[in-house]
Amino acid sequence: MIELLRLNGESFILNAFLIEQIQSLPDTTITLTNGKKIVVQTEAQEVVHQITLYYQQIGLFGKEQK
């Protein structure tokens, strides 16, 4: 699960496994697997970063090596 900000500044939690596509149009638009679109304040790169961290936390991806 990742935390994002709606355009009105309200925070919400989204199941990262439901994300099919992320676009910057110029607002960040997230398309879910069910076709629903969510427009958020959170930058696309930050959404991808949060997804990656979430996947690492649950063991789906390995940790980054430094």
**Each residue's pLDDT tens digit, 13-64:** 999 999 999 999 889 999 999 999 999 999 999 999 999 999 999 988 766 5
What's the CATH number where 21 sits? Answer: 2.40.50
Note the pLDDT of residue 66.
Answer: 54
Note the pLDDT of residue 25.
Answer: 87
Is residue 11 pLDDT above 90, yes or no?
yes
| Rg of the chain on CA atoms, in Å | 12
Note the pLDDT of residue 60.
Answer: 84
Residue 64 lies inside a defined structural domain of this protein = no
* pTM over cut 0.75: yes
Instruction: Work out how many domains the chain is built from and give that number.
Output: 1
Residue 11 lies inside a defined structural domain of this protein = yes
